[in-house]
Amino acid sequence: MSKLRKSQNARRAILFFLIVGFDLAMAGITSFAQETSPRLQNAVAQNSSSDPTVLLSTARTLYVHSRTALVKSEVIESELQKRLELKECGLVVIRNGAAADLIMEVRRSNFTTEYPYVVIDGRTQIVVASGKVNSLFGTAAAKIAKGFAKQLQKARKS
């Protein structure tokens, strides 16, 4: 019985040293990669910002989610793609919400012709843009695209 306990303790000690050694090795590799790659450090620092203007200006992809049956996501996407401002900024509309930098949610206020929209950063869930349009004298989708394009241009200029 004593030999069995000694062998179990020896196995535990070896396993402990292997785990600690692996953790130390991984920490060394990570710190070495960060020291040798200033581009990586700048990208991480830039993407970890909580400033809505920075998040909006650095975003590259947008997902549109309509929460109303009166204005479909596809219609809003189409209107967004027509805007030259978005093309110039390099913002691409995608269909995968999990992979998007920005998520636009559109809904309709009850018993009105108003369509509020909000754009959030997909990673931090920070609101980076918002607005409200009225569907009278035009389409809500085109007005949403125009309003968001103005906000995006303003963020990219600053």
What pLDDT score does 28 carry? 53
- Top pLDDT among 104 and 25 is at 104
Average pLDDT, the chain: 81
Q: Is the pLDDT of residue 61 over 90?
A: yes
- Distance CA(72)–CA(139), nearest Å, equals 12
Between 73-82 and 140-157, two packed helices, what is the crossing angle to 10 degrees?
50
Output 51 or 1, whichever has higher pLDDT.
Answer: 51
Q: What percent of the chain has pLDDT over 70?
A: 73
Q: What does pTM read for this prediction?
A: 0.67
Asked whether residue 97 carries a pLDDT value surpassing 50, the answer given is yes
Where do the structural domains in the chain lie, given as residue ranges? 2-36, 52-157
Reference 152, options 88, 64, 93; nearest CA is 88
Instruction: Tell whether the model's pLDDT for residue 36 goes beyond 80.
Output: no
Residue 98, class by beta-carbon neighbours within 10 Å (0-12 exposed, 13-18 middle, 19+ buried)?
Answer: exposed
What CATH topology corresponds to 52-157?
Answer: Rossmann fold (3.40.50)
Q: What's the mean pLDDT in 16-25?
A: 60
Of 20-24, 25-29, 111-115, 127-131, the poorest mean pLDDT is in 25-29
pLDDT for 88: 87
Terminal CA-CA length for the chain: 74
Rg of the chain on CA atoms, in Å: 25
- Work out the average pLDDT over 38-55: 62
The per-residue pLDDT for range 142-154, each reduced to its tens digit, is: 999 999 999 999 9
Q: What is the pLDDT of residue 32?
A: 44
pLDDT of residue 31 exceeding 80, the answer is no
